[in-house]
Amino acid sequence: MTGRRLALLGATGSIGVQALDVLRRLRADGFPLSVTAMAAGTRVEALAEAAREFDVRAVGVSGPNHAEALASLLPPDIEVVHGADGLSALAGRADVDVVLNAVVGAAGLRGSLAALEAGKTLALANKESLVVGGELVARTGAGVAGIVAVDSEHAALQQCVQGTDRDHIERLWITASGGAFREHRLEDLERVTAEEALRHPTWSMGPRITIDSATLVNKAFEVIEARHLFDVSWDKIGVLVHPQSVIHGLVELVDGTVLAQMGPHDMRIPIRYALTSPERLPDPPARLALGERSLQLSPLPSERYPAFWTVVEAGKSGGTAPAVANAADEVLVDAFLGGRIRFTAIARGLEEVLGRHRVGAGDSLAKLEEADAWGREQARRFVEGKE
Ligand code: NAD
Ligand code: MG
């Protein structure tokens, strides 16, 4: 089949599984799109099943043992690769046009760089690629011009700024649901459990981003992501609390006009648009019940989300600081989910680790990987020292 050929990285996760759903519908509708390659971390059985369903040519997993297990589940003519090099190889394949990067965490960066280096269109869900390696990504291949955002806020902003002179943009607004604890009393946050934090009010997502939504680290990452994607100064990016998650992004123009993108909170919509744009297909997976909703927008409260400000500051410092913020956050979220630290310790840990970090240049993969390792080690020490 001609048409777009896809590599789906992170095929077994929340975004990955929703992408598979989108792909099934596109296939049923006869949209010219095939899947050449898929990768995941460790869930070999789910990956093998999806790989067979979409008749892919190559698959990748994180480690050699998983690769062996995966190979045993697949026909011998399917190539099996592993590790960061494997991810890069899949993203850069000659028979791939579009790379949908839905890996979670800093592990996604190599796939994004390989995709851009090879001139592919990068449909980017893995915001950590831009948080950790924004400076590098911007200089690779077509840079941010090669990226179609999947993150709903950035997909919204990209649609709103189409055809707009960049000098006419006064401010980009990203909306935030406020996460699981938007209405909790601040003194109760000390005692909330992982189970409560995983109950996001509007979106259903992977565990890490759900916790990051409760601390608003996710929103700080999205501010950094927007800064790289749209190349505007920090003071031109604002955040509004919007509990309904219906308005995803707004662009305020110099003449007072505000352009907004709205839609149901269903990630299959931005995933599908990233795969088919500029084409828009009928039959969306969900629809907004316009006329049956009231929508609120309010400023971000300054005390409720201390981690947000810490991580935005790291973004502003640039260089290795955002890579350290992400690495520390990965460890701290994991420790919270494992019951080893309290919810409020995530923000404290980030502040402590970043406070100790001496920011260096983040202009090579080696320096970023070193900063990532340092951030993880420091966060582990924090976790061990506290409870
Ligand atoms: P998830 O944890 O549900 O899934 C992560 C996927 O990455 C899995 O398939 C996992 O196997 C794979 N993976 C992990 N480590 C890997 C490695 N080393 N090599 C290859 N694959 C690896 O996460 P998610 O919620 O789907 O989020 C994925 C990305 O999309 C994140 O960057 C997140 O911030 C972003 N995002 C997610 C949502 C959402 O609704 N879930 C919305 C916006 C953005
Ligand atoms: Mg988002």
Whichever domain contains 336, its CATH number is: 1.10.1740.10
Q: Same domain, yes or no, for 217 and 122?
A: no
Q: Same domain, yes or no, for 217 and 131?
A: no
Report phi then psi at 313, rounded to 5. Answer: -60, -40
Q: Which ligand is nearest to the CA of 123?
A: 1
Q: Same domain, yes or no, for 134 and 251?
A: no
pLDDT over threshold 90, residue 37: yes
State the distance from the centre of ligand 2 to the C-alpha of 203, rounded, in angstroms: 10
Q: Same domain, yes or no, for 186 and 307?
A: yes
pLDDT tens, residue by residue, 50-64:
999 999 999 999 999
Does any domain span residue 155?
A: no
Q: Name the closest-CA residue to atom 40, ligand 1.
A: 205
Which ligand 1 atom is at minimum distance from the Cα of 128? 32
Does any domain span residue 143?
A: yes
* Residue-wise DSSP of 45-108: HHHHHHHHHTT-SEEEESSHHHHHHHHTTS-TTSEEEEHHHHHHHHHT-TT-SEEEE---SGGG
CA–CA separation, 362 vs 320, rounded Å? 5
CA–CA separation, 185 vs 183, rounded Å? 7
Q: Beta strands 33-39 and 58-61: pairing type?
A: parallel
Tell which one of 61, 90, 103 to mutate to probe ligand 1, the residue whose CB is within 8 A of the most ligand atoms.
103
Domain membership of residue 20 as a residue range: 4-149
**Location of structure tokens 């991580």:** 311
Q: Is 77 exposed, middle or buried (0-12, 13-18, 19+ CB in 10 A)?
A: exposed
| Mean pLDDT score, 110-121 | 98
Q: How would residue 203 be classed by pLDDT, with cut points 50, 70 and 90?
A: confident
CA–CA separation, 229 vs 188, rounded Å? 37
Does any domain span residue 288?
A: no
**Location of structure tokens 């509990």:** 243
Mean pLDDT of the chain: 96
pLDDT for the residue 286: 82
Does any domain span residue 289?
A: no
Is residue 121 left, alpha or beta, with left meaning phi > 0 and alpha meaning psi from -120 to 50? beta
Q: Which residues surround ligand 2, an ion (CB under 5 A)?
A: 151-153
| Mean pLDDT score, 19-41 | 96
State the distance from the centre of ligand 1 to the C-alpha of 294, rounded, in angstroms: 32
pLDDT tens, residue by residue, 308-341:
999 999 999 999 999 999 999 999 999 999 999 9
CA–CA separation, 350 vs 379, rounded Å? 8
Q: Give the CATH number for residue 93.
A: 3.40.50.720
Give 367's Cβ-side CA count (13 Å radius). Answer: 15
Q: Same domain, yes or no, for 224 and 336?
A: yes
Q: Does the Cβ of 267 fall within 6 Å of ligand 1?
A: yes
Q: Does the Cβ of 123 fall within 6 Å of ligand 1?
A: no
Q: Which ligand is nearest to the CA of 226?
A: 2
Does any domain span residue 154?
A: no
Q: Same domain, yes or no, for 180 and 133?
A: no
State the distance from the centre of ligand 2 to the C-alpha of 161, rounded, in angstroms: 17
Q: Does the Cβ of 330 fall within 6 Å of ligand 1?
A: no
Q: How would residue 386 be classed by pLDDT, with cut points 50, 70 and 90?
A: low
CA–CA separation, 244 vs 264, rounded Å? 9
Does any domain span residue 160?
A: no
Report phi then psi at 70, rounded to 5. Answer: -65, -45
State the distance from the centre of ligand 1 to the C-alpha of 126, rounded, in angstroms: 7
Q: Does the Cβ of 126 fall within 6 Å of ligand 1?
A: yes
State the distance from the centre of ligand 2 to the C-alpha of 296, rounded, in angstroms: 18
| Mean pLDDT score, 239-250 | 97
pLDDT tens, residue by residue, 249-296:
999 999 999 999 999 999 999 999 999 999 999 877 788 988 888 999
Residue type, 280: R
Residue type, 269: I
Q: Does the Cβ of 206 fall within 6 Å of ligand 1?
A: yes
Which ligand 1 atom is at minimum distance from the Cα of 208? 2
CB of 153 closer than 8 Å to CB of 222:
yes
Tell which one of 8, 9, 12, 15 to mutate to probe ligand 1, the residue whose CB is within 8 A of the most ligand atoms.
15
Q: Same domain, yes or no, for 195 and 111?
A: no
Which ligand 1 atom is at minimum distance from the Cα of 127? 32
pLDDT over threshold 70, residue 70: yes
CA–CA separation, 251 vs 232, rounded Å? 12
pLDDT over threshold 50, residue 387: no
Share of the chain above pLDDT 90, in %: 94
H helix runs in the chain, sequence order: 14-28, 44-53, 64-71, 83-91, 109-117, 128-138, 152-161, 194-197, 207-215, 217-230, 268-276, 306-317, 321-337, 343-356, 365-385
| Mean pLDDT score, 137-158 | 97
If one counts the domains in the chain, the total is 2
**Quick count: other Cβ atoms within 10 Å of Cβ 186?**
11
Is 0.95 surpassed by the pTM of this model?
A: yes
Q: Which ligand is nearest to the CA of 84?
A: 1
Q: Same domain, yes or no, for 133 and 220?
A: no
Does any domain span residue 251?
A: yes
Does any domain span residue 20?
A: yes
Find all residues with CB under 8 Å of 376, minimum gap 6, and list them. Answer: 327, 328, 330, 331
State the distance from the centre of ligand 1 to the C-alpha of 172, rounded, in angstroms: 25
Pair of tokens at residue 349: 């840990």
State the distance from the centre of ligand 1 to the C-alpha of 168, rounded, in angstroms: 35
Bridge partners (DSSP) listed for residue 60: 39, 81
**Quick count: other Cβ atoms within 10 Å of Cβ 9?**
29
For residue 31, CA distances in Å to 110, 309, 377 come to 29, 43, 46
Residue type, 381: R
Sheet with 258-262: list strands edge to edge.
258-262, 247-253, 169-176, 237-241, 298-299
State the distance from the centre of ligand 2 to the C-alpha of 179, rounded, in angstroms: 12
Q: Does the Cβ of 59 fall within 6 Å of ligand 1?
A: no
Give 170's Cβ-side CA count (13 Å radius). Answer: 8
Q: Does the Cβ of 31 fall within 6 Å of ligand 1?
A: no
Q: Same domain, yes or no, for 145 and 169?
A: no
